[in-house]
C-alpha cells in the first residue's frame, strides 16, 4: 500500500490506535523529516515563490555535495513529501500537499487530550 493511502486510512491518533502497517508507513515520513538537511530542503521548497524549486537552488543552499543533496531529495520523494519534474537538464521539486494534509490530520488532536 502506498504511503498516501496509509495516511488517508489512518485516524487521528487520539481516536483509535494505528495498526502495524499504518505505524510503519507513517514512521517512514517522520524518519525522513527527522534529518535536519531534509527538513531544511522541505522548508526551502515550501517557502519558494511559485511553489517549486530547481535542484540548482537547493544545492546552492548547502555546503554538501550534489550527490548528498540528491540522496536527501530521493528520500523525500520516496515518502511522498516531494514530487519532481525534469525540464531539459534541470529537475524541479514541489511539495505534495496531500501528504502534508494527511500528516496534519493524523496529528490534529483536541486541545484537551
pLDDT of residue 26: 84
Number of domains, the chain? 1
Give the per-residue pLDDT at 80: 92
Q: Is residue 84 part of a domain?
A: yes
| Grid cell for residue 67 | 550527490
pLDDT of residue 10: 54
In a domain, 113, yes or no: no
b/e for 38-58, b at 16 or more Cβ within 10 A? beebbeebeebeeebbebeeb
Residue 85 within a domain: yes
Residue 17: which domain range? 3-107
pLDDT of residue 23: 82
Q: Is residue 51 part of a domain?
A: yes
pLDDT of residue 8: 57
> CATH code at 72?
1.10.10.10
User: H or E segment at 53?
Assistant: strand 52-54
Given this model, what pLDDT does residue 5 score? 55
Q: Which residues of the chain have pLDDT under 50?
A: 1, 113
Assigned domain for 53 exists: yes
Can you tell me the distance from the alpha carbon of 112 to that of 47, in angstroms, rounded to the nearest whole number? 31
76 inside domain:
yes
Amino acid at each position: 500500500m502506498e504511503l498516501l493511502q496509509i495516511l488517508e486510512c489512518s485516524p487521528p491518533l487520539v481516536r483509535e490506535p494505528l495498526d502495524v502497517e499504518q505505524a510503519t508507513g507513517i514512521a517512514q515520513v517522520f524518519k525522513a523529516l527527522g534529518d535536519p538537511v531534509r527538513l531544511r530542503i522541505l522548508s526551502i521548497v515550501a517557502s519558494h515563490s511559485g511553489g517549486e524549486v530547481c535542484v540548482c537552488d537547493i544545492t546552492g543552499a548547502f555546503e554538501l555535495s550534489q550527490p548528498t543533496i540528491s540522496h536527501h531529495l530521493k528520500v523525500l520523494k520516496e515518502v511522498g513529501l516531494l514530487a519532481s519534474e525534469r525540464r531539459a537538464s534541470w529537475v524541479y521539486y514541489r511539495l505534495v500537499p496531500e501528504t502534508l494534509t494527511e500528516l496534519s490530520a493524523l496529528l490534529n488532536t483536541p486541545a484537551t487530550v
